[in-house]
Chain A
Amino acid sequence: MAKTLESKKACTVNPLKMSQPLGAAYAFMGLDSCMPVMHGSQGCTSFGLVLLVRHFKEAIPLQTTAMNEVTTILGGYENIEAALLNIKKRAAPRIIALCSTGLTETKGDDVDGYLKLVRARKPELDDTALVYVSTPDYVGAFEDGWKHAVTGIVQHLVPERGAEGAPTATIPTQVNLLPGSHLTPGDLEEIKEMLAAFGLSAITLPDVSGSLDGHIPPDWRGTTLGGTRHDDIARMGSSVATLAIGEQMREAAEALQQRTGVPFQLFDRLTGLACNDAFLMALSRISGQPVPPKYRRQRSQLLDAMLDGHFYLGGKQVAIGAEPDLLLAAGALLHEMGAVLHTVVTTTHSAALDALPAEQALVGDLEDLETGARACDLLMTHSHGRQAAERLHKPFFRLGFPVFDRIGNAHRVMVGYRGTRQFIFEVANLMMAHIPHAVPDTWPLPEAAQRVAKPSSAQAELPWPTFTKPPAVDTTAHHQPHGVNP
């Protein structure tokens, strides 16, 4: 429903957007025993790493090919080879996953070709899987990087039907889950629990709930601490269906279907009532099991939460800045609760925006959001929006990535009936804390009204109002509190 507009400004002020390679690296974090690598200058990695650390409060394995000016111009083959060998030696990951950056894309490094050459020249890397995805910084946004990375993983690591290593039989209780970048480790746990309730097991790709859920491992590992296992990725062809969550996962789901023949179903969001009804019905159909009683109960709880919450959200004007899929998940629910999506800013183009119940979505920055938020009751975006909220004295709800000034981000849940319920409570509670408090001059009378109420001009010069005697009837008795009358 929303029309997507592009910002006309030359200068981005207070960026909402983050770059593609960061989104790709984040997707690689969801692979077990993996070392993600950015092929670029070391600053690219350093910035991304710091941001992920600040959001997750976790050690982040992320390496760099440490390109400098000379190696950029001469081509990065040697740096890539050295990086692969160094990583193999130091961390021995099962998978090394590379993404390009603006620098190496501008030069035009043929990384696919380089990797073929490395394979031929360095047999010591034979047991290390290599994945590469092209993610120039100057195209798209974080969500696009994630999208392309997952597609890249599918193309590199899922064997085609009939090929060597491809599974031959279908396991009727196994599904593939392709979550979008907006889902937290907590969200993934919630979805997996829903699947398990139907007797379904999932191969989740990528699975940040295994690696970035904030657990304490028994030993120090230089690579990711969990996530989708390499063997499991190879087995995705044996699943009975693929469930893709978020429009951004369409590309990967299609690639997976093309390679393995596993049919996919895409859910554009799992925050809300009807979308979860549809999701549970899909699980029921796939598994042949009825919807378990606990979800009937949770649905009823959600209805109650929506009833309790709508008082605080109804008619509220919201300014929201987020990546398309998250925008749709949060925005559509707010709309269903009676709020109005007054100002909508996003980072990149997506079919998800077409479904958004707003007049328009602007591919823009937090300056645009701040401008629109002046007329709003609630500001919703990632932590960088806090400066704008302070300036405007508006309630501020942190949503998306990065949230660096709160802890527990990995465990915030917005999906399923339970997650939706929790989200409604959080937003409604924020609004409740900001219910406007009336003061004596909250409702000033317009001048026109004051004028007509004044005495005629002759009387206007008298002191006013004047009474020569007190009112004849004593009315105070009517206003005495109970219990005072004899």
Chain B
Amino acid sequence: MSASLKQKIAEVFDEPGCDKNQGKSEKERKKGCTKQLSPGAAAGGCAFDGAKIALQPIVDVAHLVHGPIACEGNSWDNRHSYSSGSTLYRTGFTTDINELDVIYGGEKRLFKSVKEIIEKYDPPAVFVYQTCVTALIGDDIEAVCKRASEKFGKPVIPVNSPGFAGPKNLGNKLGGESILDHVIGTQEPAYTTPYDINIIGEYNLSGELWQIKPLLDALGVRVLSCISGDGRYHEVASSHRARVNMMVCSKSMINIATRMQKNWGIPYFEGSFYGIGDMSDTLRQIARLLVQQGAEADLIERTERLIEVEEARAWKRLEPYRARLAGKRVLLITGGVKSWSVVSALQEVGMEIVGTSIKKSTKEDKEKIKEIMGDDAHMIDDMTPREMYNMLRDARADIMLSGGRSQFIALKARMPWLDINQERYHPYAGYEGMVELVEEIDKALYNPVWQQVRIPAPWDEVDAGMLAGEALVPTAEGAH
């Protein structure tokens, strides 16, 4: 590992914004905050995956993966992070290194690739992602990017987060480090207002940002930069002029928030867009901090009025579902912020949470779950697929909400399932999203297909009957 990457990892493991991290001794902290992976029993993405997830939603940038075909060829174009403009981020760029590159080094191919991209696509910037093999053979992407920036007069940004550096959440942070080091603060916005905020860690999956933005627009709050959903290079580069940072999705890019606070004095708060109560709290926090930072004091009052109207509208739309969903039992297999923000949202319509996974949750997440669910919080640390399957088959839960990979556990048990992770097609943010989520749950639970697929094959019953010595009584004709 290059010295700089090692140092970077040490840096992100020293996180002033994380209480758990600060509670550790110096030595413990160096080990990092992720559990050691267990060979043969691991699931989840690598650090490269994490960095790419975090940065790819910057839509006008060319994202170039330096490595063998697996890293981009097996993974590109697999998320529904939406754009309101450029679609360049959906184009898969990779150096697709071959055996000779492994032997002689891939730096030349990388440099030529950057050149080809700039000539053909002319993006405002090129992001270059390091991968395991090119890291192992010692390709110095930082040097290549520096040289290419000088030569082509365009930002070429190294993202040094090879897969073997660690798991996905480390990659989120290393992606954040790249834009902190090379992008944020390098340009200036055309103008600023006292109502400018950044949203950090929101990826605009299925357009969720657009479920929130009308609320902010109505209040006159400007999203100076969303890092990184529907983001533009220029916006991210000039995001250091915001008055307030909101950090979404737990700790995935907390380093951006803490460093921006340190370098530019931008206060941040952690908020969530999932669930009615959480959405309102988030709006309140934004208003409070903006006023604290110099916005007109009436923002707080206007925000309260908006919350009142929008909450009432959401509840009115949810009312028809309360009776249908009350008492339905949910098994929630997700992680991080969703392990509690969705819990409170579902409880709001009377559903019962029979289990929520905390595998990817932080200590704060867990405390939050306890707070919301009371003492009998059904926190699941590491449930095997077989246990989930049995739970569903034995009807100890009525529906499972999880990511796409575990959907078949529910479907094969012939139980309803709903996708709440990144591959999904439905947006669930804000008041709008909560209504949509409940609608989707209702649609899933009350689909008549569940009765159909549980009808046993008639010959199974017949066979069982015959085996038990109760052969069908022959009719007169049949006996003939």
Mark B residues whose CB is within 8 Å of A: 1, 37-49, 64, 67-78, 87, 90-99, 101-102, 109-110, 112-117, 120, 132-133, 135-137, 162-167, 384-386, 389-390, 404-405, 408-409, 412-414, 423, 453
Cross-interface CB contact of B99 among A86, A87, A136, A141, cutoff 8 Å: A136
In the assembled complex, A420 has its CB within 8 A of some CB on chain B: no
Which A residues, 57 to 83, have Cβ-Cβ distances below 8 Å to chain B? 57-60, 63-69, 72, 79-80, 82-83
Contact B73 A86 (CB under 8 A): no
Stretch with Cβ within 8 A of B (4 or more), from A215-223, A238-246, A423-431: A215-223
Contact B40 A220 (CB under 8 A): no
In the assembled complex, A384 has its CB within 8 A of some CB on chain B: yes
* CB closest chain-B residue, reference A82: B39
Distance between Cα atoms of A48 and B95 in the complex (Å): 19
Contact B166 A68 (CB under 8 A): yes
In the assembled complex, A296 has its CB within 8 A of some CB on chain B: no
Task: Give the interface centre of B49, B91, B116, B412 by most chain A CB atoms within 10 Å.
Answer: B412
Q: Can you report 27 residue pairs joining A to B where beta carbons are below 8 Å apart?
A: A10-B110, A11-B93, A12-B73, A12-B93, A15-B69, A15-B94, A43-B47, A47-B45, A50-B404, A50-B423, A53-B405, A59-B412, A63-B40, A66-B38, A67-B164, A68-B37, A82-B39, A83-B40, A83-B41, A90-B41, A103-B133, A138-B133, A216-B414, A222-B384, A384-B77, A387-B77, A404-B78
Number of interface residues of A (CB under 8 A): 66
Cross-interface CB contact of A15 among B76, B98, B408, cutoff 8 Å: B76
Which A residues, 103 to 138, have Cβ-Cβ distances below 8 Å to chain B? 103, 106-107, 136-138
Task: Give the interface centre of A13, A40, A107 by most chain B CB atoms within 10 Å.
Answer: A13
* CB closest chain-A residue, reference B92: A14
Stretch with Cβ within 8 A of B (4 or more), from A18-26, A310-318, A463-471: A18-26
List residues of chain A with CB within 8 A of the CB of B390: 220
Task: Give the interface centre of A15, A53, A84, A101 by most chain B CB atoms within 10 Å.
Answer: A15
List residues of chain A with CB within 8 A of the CB of B76: 14-15, 384
List residues of chain B with CB within 8 A of the CB of A21: 70
Cross-interface CB contact of A137 among B42, B69, B409, cutoff 8 Å: B69
Quick one: CB contact mask for A382-399 with B, threshold 8 Å, 1 for yes? 001001000000000000
Contact A69 B1 (CB under 8 A): yes
- Count of CB-CB pairs between chains A and B under 8 Å: 219
Known pairs A46-B49, A49-B405, A137-B70; A106 contacts B136 (CB<8 A): yes
Contact A50 B93 (CB under 8 A): no
Contact A11 B113 (CB under 8 A): yes
Distance between Cα atoms of A87 and B40 in the complex (Å): 6
Distance between Cα atoms of A25 and B408 in the complex (Å): 19
Contact B133 A106 (CB under 8 A): yes
Contact B45 A43 (CB under 8 A): yes
Cross-interface CB contact of B95 among A10, A17, A102, A141, cutoff 8 Å: A10
Contact B39 A64 (CB under 8 A): yes
Quick one: CB contact mask for A448-470 with B, threshold 8 Å, 1 for yes? 00000000000000000000000
CB proximity of B37 to chain A, nearest CB, Å = 4
Contact A138 B37 (CB under 8 A): no
Contact A47 B41 (CB under 8 A): no
Cross-interface CB contact of B136 among A48, A72, A90, A387, cutoff 8 Å: A72
CB proximity of B398 to chain A, nearest CB, Å = 18
